[in-house]
Amino acid sequence: MHPALGLDTVVHPMESRADTSYVVGIGASAHGLAALKRFFGSIREAPDLAFVVIQHLAPEQSSSLKEILQSTSELPVTSAEDGVAIQAGHIYVIGPGDQLTIEDRVLKTVSLPDLDAERHTIDTFFDSLATDCGDRSVGMLVSGAGQDGTAGLRSIKEHGGITMAQDPDEAGIMTMPQTAIQAGVVDVIDSVDDLHRRLINILRSSPKFEDGPRETDSARAQDAALGAVLDLLRQRTGNTFSEYKRPTILRRIGRRMQIRGLETLDDYLSWLNDDPDEVDALFDELLIKVTQFFRDPDIWDALNDTIIPQLFEGKGREDQVRVWVPGCATGEEAYTVALLLSEYADTLEDTPEIKVFATDISHEAIRIARRGSYPVSIASDIRQERLDRYFRLEAGQYRVGKDVRNRVLFAPQNALSDPPFSNLDLVTCRNLLIYLRPSAQERLLKLFHYALDPGGYLLLGPSESPSPAAELYEDVDSEAHIYQARRGVDSSVALAGPGFGFEASPDLSRTQTSVEPAQLSADLERIHRKAVFDNHEFASVLVDSEHRLLHTTGDVSPLGAGDRRPSEDGQAEIACRRTDDHLRGDPPA
């Protein structure tokens, strides 16, 4: 077995289900009829596939799509009506003016009040499809205008499903598939005539993983191949996934193997060695970025009502409210926190500075988050008054307003190996622990406790708790998964635990040190470079309590004197500022 893994039982990437058929959602605009006819005209039978067609149609517009497809396809075509339980080998067609979702493989419909809401009917169905069918979901976009479907494909992909798009070069109107492709959420791009064949080949592919005793030769060979895959990933990306649970890793690798039509890990390892783009695709696959604005609204209501007011207690204009969102993905959760903090700050006369530090190991996710632009489908997650107040419509997308973006600093970071932020009032880390081994969960919880000020708060996901480090936290609201860092407990040992890529060192904002000046200078340089993620384009300065410059990283000439504010206890602090507000959401020209 690969020594760095130590992971649990092997499972097949496709979990067993009562209904093993796949549900294929197909999104098209009113101009996609030709593509739909060609696609279904090539299908003779589909015993393991049910198809749901989502076409943009105005409420007052009559539709003959059902009759047209029935004349083209040998499969039965049915109207997608409320309460219909879908069956494999059937095609279901959305009605004009309807919003369609799926729950327990039963279709749910509501009538749309106006055309404006219809712009994201594909996203709405795809998102519900991903939640309901998981790795048995398939999303496909064919000819159409606009951006509808991109966010939905992202959700399907993140839930382990397959995403496909018609080649834009042959699409009558290319905007819809092209937008999804450019967003990096499409697994398969092909002509509409070949999409069904590609789909069948993918679904027939069956990655073979050893599920017997680990002492067998085949199991040891599989462990060696898996270790080699993760080693290659670490060498190419600088990140290790050895702390992820084995079932999670195998499910994600299995999905990539399916897409490539490969059945063994050795075959996939050979493919990775020959195709650097596949390494990037696997890296992105393992970064599970299931996120949205105000996900689990009741939890955010609890945080807003009981915790956020306490974060501001006793603080004035010279103080800060500091929050860390590790594993922020594309930024929705970080902006959710910033919105709630901004709302409360607007009720105060003497407002402290708000700093939300949001980090993720994916540079691409951070790039998207800094931009702060999201599809119009987020309107279903955010109250209208918040949309009107904190967002503006730009080029068909909602963009977070600059006042809120300025309060969020996004940066690449690996929470398991890079130094944490400090003096925090709140850490929100939702749905990351569930993918990690227990030992990694414990270290991360200790790290959060170290980063929090005494009495600071921790928000976890609905399936998570601080039980691996229960001695460090007190329950505040167990239903909302809100916990408080216990006072008087020393968790700094977490920084020296095995698996972290840095050494524990004196925290300049908390402790005194008596090391020699030469050693201190060398240590400061090492700490500073690591703390501000050197090699990630940061420009920063480190100063002491007398505003004397100790160390710099990057090109600091545009920074002038830098942000030279001493910490409350007189010790030096690290102060970072990105030029051109790049970290605050405005990419440089």
Those residues with Cβ within 8 angstroms of residue 16's Cβ, 6 or more apart along the chain or in another chain = none
Average pLDDT of every residue of the chain: 79
Does the pLDDT value for residue 116 go beyond 90?
Answer: no
Confidence grade of residue 264 (pLDDT, cut at 50, 70, 90): confident
What are 300's two structure tokens?
């955010």
Q: Count CA atoms closer than 13 A to 304's CA, side-chain side.
A: 17
Confidence grade of residue 324 (pLDDT, cut at 50, 70, 90): very high
Structural domains present in the chain: 22-204 (3.40.50.180), 217-286 (1.10.155), 297-496 (3.40.50.150), 517-584 (no CATH)
Question: Which of 129-143, 387-401, 441-455, 480-494 bottoms out in mean pLDDT, i.e. has the lowest?
Answer: 480-494
The position carrying tokens 């834009």 is 168
Confidence grade of residue 132 (pLDDT, cut at 50, 70, 90): very high
The residue-averaged pLDDT of 459-480 equals: 92
Residue 51 near residue 26 (C-beta atoms within 8 A): yes
What is the pTM (predicted TM-score) of this model?
Answer: 0.72
Q: Higher pLDDT residue, 285 or 320?
A: 320
Residue 409 burial (CB count, 10 A): 21
Q: Higher pLDDT residue, 476 or 571?
A: 476
Pairing state of beta strands 482-485 and 98-103?
Answer: unpaired
Does the pLDDT value for residue 268 go beyond 90?
Answer: yes
Instruction: Kindly report the backbone phi and psi dihedral angles of residue 400, in degrees, each rounded to the nearest multiple of 5, phi listed first.
Output: -60, 135
Confidence grade of residue 580 (pLDDT, cut at 50, 70, 90): very low
**What's the pLDDT score for residue 552?**
52
Above pLDDT 70, what percent of the chain?
Answer: 76
- Rounded Cα distance between 26 and 80, Å, is 13
Q: Higher pLDDT residue, 555 or 239?
A: 239
Q: Which residues of 65-92 are buried (b: 16+ CB within 10 A; e: fewer)?
A: bbebbbebbebebbebeeebebebbbbb
Residue 299 near residue 460 (C-beta atoms within 8 A): no
The residue-averaged pLDDT of 133-140 equals: 94
Reported as a single tens digit per residue, the pLDDT across 217-249 is: 777 888 888 989 999 988 888 888 888 888 888
Top-ranked range on mean pLDDT: pick from 40-49, 221-230, 349-358:
349-358
Q: In this structure, what is the dihedral angle of CA atoms 174, 175, 181, 183, given to the nearest 10 degrees?
A: 170
Which residue from 401, 311, 408 is spatially nearest to 357, judged by alpha carbons?
A: 408
Residue 157 near residue 185 (C-beta atoms within 8 A): yes
Residue 440 near residue 241 (C-beta atoms within 8 A): no
What sign results for the dihedral spanned by CA atoms 522, 524, 525, 531? positive
**What's the pLDDT score for residue 29?**
85
Helix (H) or strand (E) holding 22: strand 22-28
3-state secondary structure of 369: helix
Confidence grade of residue 39 (pLDDT, cut at 50, 70, 90): very high
Q: Higher pLDDT residue, 40 or 20?
A: 40
**What's the pLDDT score for residue 491?**
64
Confidence grade of residue 378 (pLDDT, cut at 50, 70, 90): confident
Q: What is the largest CA-CA distance in the chain?
A: 85
Does the pLDDT value for residue 318 go beyond 50?
Answer: yes
Q: Please give the C-alpha separations between residue 516 and each of 75, 511, 522, 530, in angstroms, as whole numbers.
A: 80, 15, 10, 21
**What phi-psi label fits residue 580: left (phi over 0), alpha (psi between -120 and 50 degrees) or beta?**
left
**What's the pLDDT score for residue 507?**
33
Does the pLDDT value for residue 572 go beyond 90?
Answer: no
Confidence grade of residue 347 (pLDDT, cut at 50, 70, 90): very high
Does the pLDDT value for residue 420 go beyond 50?
Answer: yes
Those residues with Cβ within 8 angstroms of residue 189's Cβ, 6 or more apart along the chain or in another chain = 164, 165, 166, 167, 177, 181
Residue 537 near residue 554 (C-beta atoms within 8 A): yes
Does the pLDDT value for residue 530 go beyond 90?
Answer: no
Does the pLDDT value for residue 543 go beyond 80?
Answer: no
Work out the burial of residue 465: count CB atoms within 10 Å of its CB; fewer than 13 is exposed, 13-18 middle, 19 or more buried: middle
What are the helix (H) ranges across 98-191?
A: 121-133, 150-158, 175-182
Q: Round the CA-based radius of gyration of the chain to a whole number and report it.
A: 26
Does the pLDDT value for residue 46 go beyond 50?
Answer: yes
Does the pLDDT value for residue 131 go beyond 80?
Answer: yes
**What's the pLDDT score for residue 278?**
93
**What's the pLDDT score for residue 442?**
92
The position carrying tokens 């600093």 is 409
3-state secondary structure of 5: coil
Question: Which of 29-43, 115-129, 400-414, 571-585 bottoms out in mean pLDDT, i.e. has the lowest?
Answer: 571-585
What are 449's two structure tokens?
């406790």
Reported as a single tens digit per residue, the pLDDT across 431-443 is: 899 889 999 999 9
Does the pLDDT value for residue 366 go beyond 50?
Answer: yes
- Rounded Cα distance between 444 and 450, Å, is 10
Confidence grade of residue 588 (pLDDT, cut at 50, 70, 90): very low
What are 44's two structure tokens?
């003779």
Those residues with Cβ within 8 angstroms of residue 47's Cβ, 6 or more apart along the chain or in another chain = 21, 88, 89
Q: Please give the C-alpha separations between residue 159 and each of 56, 169, 258, in angstroms, as whole numbers.
A: 25, 28, 15
Confidence grade of residue 568 (pLDDT, cut at 50, 70, 90): very low
Q: Please give the C-alpha separations between residue 462 and each of 120, 333, 360, 382, in angstroms, as whole numbers.
A: 27, 14, 20, 20
- Rounded Cα distance between 554 and 506, Å, is 24
The residue-averaged pLDDT of 204-229 equals: 78
Reported as a single tens digit per residue, the pLDDT across 496-529 is: 544 444 433 333 233 333 334 444 444 454 455 5
What are 291's two structure tokens?
């996120």
Reported as a single tens digit per residue, the pLDDT across 292-303 is: 899 899 999 999
Confidence grade of residue 389 (pLDDT, cut at 50, 70, 90): very high
